[in-house]
Amino acid sequence: MQTRLKLDPAVVREARSLAAKAGQPIVAMAKTHTTVSVERAVLRLAGLGGADPDGMPWVNRLVDAVREATGLEHGVALPAFDALLTGGYDNLAGLAAAAAEGKAAFRIPAGADARAARAAASAALATGFGRIDANRAHRQRMIEQTSEPGKPWIYLIVATGDIYEDIPQAQAAAREGADIIAVIRSTGQSLLDYVPEGATREGFAGTYATQENFRLMRAALDETSRELGRYIRLTNYASGLCMPEIASLAGLERLDMMLNDCMYGIIFRDINPRRTFIDQRFSRQIHARAGIIINTGEDNYLTTADAVDAAHTVVVSQLMNEFFGKEAGLADSQLGLGHAFEISPAVPDSFLLELAHAQLVRELFPDAPLKYMPPTKHMTGNVFAGYLLDAFFNLAGVMTDQSILLIGMMTEGIHTPFLSDRDLALENVRYVRRAAGRLGQEFRPDPDGFVARRARQVLGESVDLLRKIGSQGLLNAIADGTFGVTKRPADGGRGLDGVVERAEGYYNPASEILEVNQ
C-alpha cells in the first residue's frame, strides 16, 4: 500500500530484526519442551474424543496415565499407540477407559515395537490432518459459492451461555450486516486444564468453547451464509491452559478465526509464560495448516496502561506476534494483529493521535488483516456520548483501512448490551462505512505534520524498547511489567507443572507433519 507517514525503511527493518532477536530464545525453548495440552492435542488429532461419566475428557485421562507411568519426555504418542497395539484395545477410547481404571500398561517401546507404534500414530494423525485440510478446501468452496464480504469486516460478539440461544442471535446479527461472529467464552474457561464436552447451555458471561458447540454454530452460519449469499466467518478463543487443544478442535470443525495472542494469557490470566509460549507455537502451527486467521490482543494493554504513553508497547507486541506467527508458518493474510481506539476523549487532539497510531500499524503491516477494537475504557453511562465515540472509532477505522472492526456498543460500559443495542451499533458502522468508505483513499497527512510526527515518534520508542528487550530477554521484560503494567515472572502463574522438557527420542507425529509442511 502507499505510504502516507514517510516511515524510514531502515528503522522498520531494524524493528523487525530486533523482534526476531527477542523471539529466538522463546522459539528455542518451545522446540525443546512440550506440555500436557500439546500432548492432549495430539490425541485429539488422532481421533480421541468424548469424556468419562464425570465429564473429564478421555484425552486428559490417557495423558495423565501415560505421564504417571512413563513421563511425557518422549511424548504421549509412542507409549499410547504401543499400548493400543500390544494391549488388544479396539481404539484409543477403549485404551483411555482402561487407563482410567488403572488397567492399562505403558512403556517406551524400542526396536520393531517402536516402529510399529510410530506407524500407527502417524496414520491416525494423517487422518486428522486430512479432515483439517478438507475443511480448509470446504471454506474456500463456500466463499466461492456465496461471496467474500468487502472490508472492513464487521465483527460482532454473541454469548448468552446457551449455544442454542447464541445461534439465532448470531444468525440475526449476520442478517443485519455482521461478517464475523465471535462466540465469547464462559468466564474462567481459560483457567480450566480440560476442554468441556458436548453442547452446553449454562455459561457465565459467555458460552463454553467445546467441539460440539463449534460444530453447531458453524453449521448454523453455513446455512445463513447460503441464505445471504455472503460467507459469515466464525471465531472463538485459542488461549488459556488448553490452547493447543482448542486450536485443533477449531481446525477439525472449520472455524475461520481464533483469538491467539503471544502474551494475553500471561498478563491478563496469570498463565505461566513458559507454558503459554510452548502451547502457542503448536497452536499457531495448527492455525497455519487450517487456514485460520489469528486475532491478537494488544488492545487489552490499553485497558490497564495509558493509551498514549503505552502506544509503543502495542507496536512491540505486534512485531513479536508477527515474528512468532511467521515462525510457526502463518502467512501475512492470517495475522489479524490487534490494536484499539482507547485514548481518553478528554485528551486534546485525541482523534488525531488515534489516526496516527492506526495509520502507523496499517503501514507497518500492509498485508495483515488488522483487527481494530472499539473504545471501552472511557465508555460511561452517557449512552449518547458513547454512541458518538463509537462513530469516531468507525471513522478512524475506514480512514486508515483497517480490515476488521469489532463494533462498539454504547451500553457496554453499563451492562451486557441488549439485541436492540447491537442493532443500533450495526446501524452506526453501516452508516460510517457507507458515507466514508473511500475516505482512506483521500487521507494524506502532512509528512511533517502532527499525525506523521506522532507515528514516527511511536515507532522510534518501539525500537528503543525492543533493544531493551533484546538485551534483557523477553521473559524478563514480561516479569518487569513491560506490557500492560502487570508483572508476570517466568516461573510463576498457572500451568507450569504441565511443562515437560523433551528427552532424546521425543516423538510427536503432529509436529512432524506440521514442520514438514511449514
Cα–Cα distance between 368 and 215 in angstroms, integer?
27
Cα–Cα distance between 43 and 28 in angstroms, integer?
24
pLDDT of residue 380: 87
Cell numbers at residue 505, please?
Answer: 527420542
Q: How far is the first Cα of the chain from the last one, in angstroms, to the nearest whole number?
A: 27
Query: What is the helix (H) or strand (E) element at residue 284, kind and residue range?
Result: helix 273-290
Residue 90 makes CB contacts below 8 A (sequence gap 6+) with none
pLDDT of residue 417: 83
Neighbours of 516 (CB within 10 A): 7
Residue 223 gets which letter from DSSP?
A: H
Amino acid symbol at 215: R
Cα–Cα distance between 335 and 315 in angstroms, integer?
14
Radius of gyration for the alpha carbons in the chain, expressed in angstroms and rounded = 23
Which one, of 69, 110, 105, lies nearest residue 87 by Cα? 105
DSSP output for 354-375: HHHHHHHHHHHSTTS--EEEPP
Cα–Cα distance between 195 and 7 in angstroms, integer?
45
Domain ranges of the chain: 46-126, 146-237
pLDDT of residue 2: 60
Query: What is the helix (H) or strand (E) element at residue 233, kind and residue range?
Result: strand 233-237
Helix axes 419-436, 163-175, angle to 10 degrees: 30
Query: What is the helix (H) or strand (E) element at residue 69, kind and residue range?
Result: helix 58-70
Cα–Cα distance between 354 and 356 in angstroms, integer?
5
How do residues 44-92 score in pLDDT, each as one tens digit? 999 999 999 999 999 999 999 999 999 999 999 999 999 999 999 999 9
- Residue ranges for the chain with pLDDT beneath 70: 1-2, 517-518
Cell numbers at residue 40, please?
Answer: 492432549
Helix (H, G, I), strand (E, B) or coil at 275: helix
Contact assessment for residue 358 and residue 375, using Cβ atoms and an 8 Å cutoff: no
How do residues 5-31 score in pLDDT, each as one tens digit? 999 999 999 999 999 999 999 999 999
Count the alpha carbons within 13 Å of 26 in the hemisphere toward its beta carbon: 34
pLDDT of residue 412: 84
Which one, of 207, 200, 156, lies nearest residue 412 by Cα? 156
Beta strands in 307-440 (DSSP E): 335-336, 338-340, 371-373, 404-406
Distance of CA 212 to the CA centre of its chain: 19
pLDDT of residue 413: 80
Contact assessment for residue 287 and residue 294, using Cβ atoms and an 8 Å cutoff: yes
Cα–Cα distance between 260 and 29 in angstroms, integer?
19
User: Please, what's the b/e burial string for 440-461 (b: 16 or more CB within 10 A of its CB; e: otherwise)?
Assistant: beeeebeeeeebbbbbbebbeb
pLDDT of residue 517: 59
Cα–Cα distance between 180 and 93 in angstroms, integer?
35
Residues acting as catalytic residues: 264, 299, 371
